[in-house]
Structure 1
Amino acid sequence: MATGRQPAPTDDAALDPRIARSRAAIVAAASEHFLTNGYLGANVDDIAAEARVSKRTVYNIFGGKEQLFREILAEAFAVAERFSTEVVSTLADADNADEAAAELRATAVNLVRPVLSGRVVRLRRLLIGEAERFPELARDYYERAPDRVMDALAEAMAQLGRRGLLSVDEPRLVSEHFAFLVLGAPLDRALFTASDQEPLTDEVERRALQGVDVFLRAYGPVRNSTGPAS
């Protein structure tokens, strides 16, 4: 594994529209190239050709193949960041048990869609295959993507628990149960499927919502004889 890296571009260079265009083209080409060929099979010459830039431009902007590989994971980080920000704010707005249940169902669909309909599964599959080569990168991915999502869910579950809208003793455990009930099986299938991605079908979303129903039976608020908790 390469250890030397060229310095990152200066702020002025980063703002240069020509460099910005080249950077975007290189990232797009590199992303598809790595996903198709893996790390060992990837070739900077081919990436440059696909991006319609010179090989020198690739090295000037990124410093080499390893940095390009790291760069393409930014897409998965961005998906996790958006979801983590949204899930806490939307679940925090629930005022009663019915609203909480509705928000949990929306959260389930919003979790399934980006993971299974985009390239996140392919990125995850690629990184798993290179985890021994890049252990620190695999750890960073876990902390900034799956783990970050679990932390956001745990924070939201804790808030719902404090308001009596869920029965929550261990927020992190509760969040993991939620995530695996709505996403675990289709994600496993996608990771071991030869196709580019798990098809995002109505059936996948239906099962995710059924997972929420199971979750609510386990962690829903305690109901008394006068009716549902509010």
Structure 2
Amino acid sequence: MADLTTRAAAKRQQIMDAALAVFLENGYVGASMDQVAALAAVSKQTVYKQFKDKEHLFQSIIDDIGDRVDDPFVELTKDVAETDDVERMIHALAGRFVTTIMDPRVQQIRRLVIGEAARFPDLGRAYWERGFARALVTIADCFARLDERGLLKVEDPQVAANHFAGLLLWIPSNRVMFHGRTDAVSAEELAAFAADGARAFLAAYGTRP
């Protein structure tokens, strides 16, 4: 029985992985259950046995992605409590933030969810809350701790976290979104955007004259 359950779960994941690739390539409207079945190397009947329709399949994929998202900034909270070098800390956080959010796969999924947000508003909101919004809460907590230690001057940590994200992502994320290519920004450019954004943030929120 356990083997059957394991095989069923593996088959379901196989279909979901194939479906994600199809949705990323064709969008929700352009994707078909036939394409999913072909890429997953299963019958269309098998796909419908797991997912009653395309809408249910799409929702299951985005929910699954949200469930597997780990907050990449949690481990930095310990460094915040110990650091005396706020500039190094902010630059390290900026580098981690840009690398994580601008990951090509993350950007592809982000574009897909945004593109279908009007069709699936609850799904879009859930994806936001599980991913980006949760990361902003962690970053805001880091800034609040640095403010308490006198290393930053932050009146509203959540606003500061959003300013931080905007300084880092406005140029590269918009370029990727509007060009429709994840390689629209080079690794060297991303590093420069992270450094420039960190310096701008420190100029606005740092305590040094």
The TM-score normalised by the length of structure 1 is: 0.80
Whole-Å Cα distance in 2 between the matches of residues 15 and 84 of structure 1?
A: 38
Cα shift at 1:212: 0.3
Hey, what does 2:145 align to over in structure 1? 159
Return structure 1 stretches of 4+ with deviation > 4 angstroms: 12-15
Whole-Å Cα distance in 2 between the matches of residues 126 and 218 of structure 1?
A: 34
Would the alpha carbon gap of residues 112 and 171 (structure 1) be closer, same or farther in structure 2, given more than 3 Å must change?
same
Give 1:119's match in structure 2, choosing from 93, 99, 105. 105
Whole-Å Cα distance in 2 between the matches of residues 58 and 130 of structure 1?
A: 22
Would the alpha carbon gap of residues 87 and 68 (structure 1) be closer, same or farther in structure 2, given more than 3 Å must change?
farther
1:216 aligns with 2:202: yes
Question: Quick one: percent identity of the two aligned structures?
Answer: 38
Hey, what does 2:61 align to over in structure 1? 72
Contact 1:166–1:221 at 8 Å: present in 2 too?
A: yes
1:42-101 CA-to-partner distances (Å, cap 9, x unmatched) read: 11122012111222332333333223212333436644x3324334344x34331x1x32
Q: Which amino acid is the alignment partner of residue 125 of structure 1?
A: R
Greater fraction helix? 2
Three-state SS of the structure 2 residue aligned to 1:119 is helix
Gaps of 5+ in 1: 1-11, 224-230
Gaps of 5+ in 2: none
Q: Which amino acid is the alignment partner of residue 58 of structure 1?
A: V
1:118-151 CA-to-partner distances (Å, cap 9, x unmatched) read: 3121112122221221111112122222211211
Hey, what does 1:23 align to over in structure 2? 12
Q: Which amino acid is the alignment partner of residue 118 of structure 1?
A: P
1:169 aligns with 2:155: yes
1:25-58 CA-to-partner distances (Å, cap 9, x unmatched) read: 2122111100111111111122012111222332
Q: Which amino acid is the alignment partner of residue 210 of structure 1?
A: D
Whole-Å Cα distance in 2 between the matches of residues 89 and 76 of structure 1?
A: 25
Contact 2:111–2:177 at 8 Å: present in 1 too?
A: yes
Hey, what does 2:119 align to over in structure 1? 133
Cα shift at 1:113: 1.4
What is the total number of aligned residue pairs between the two structures? 208
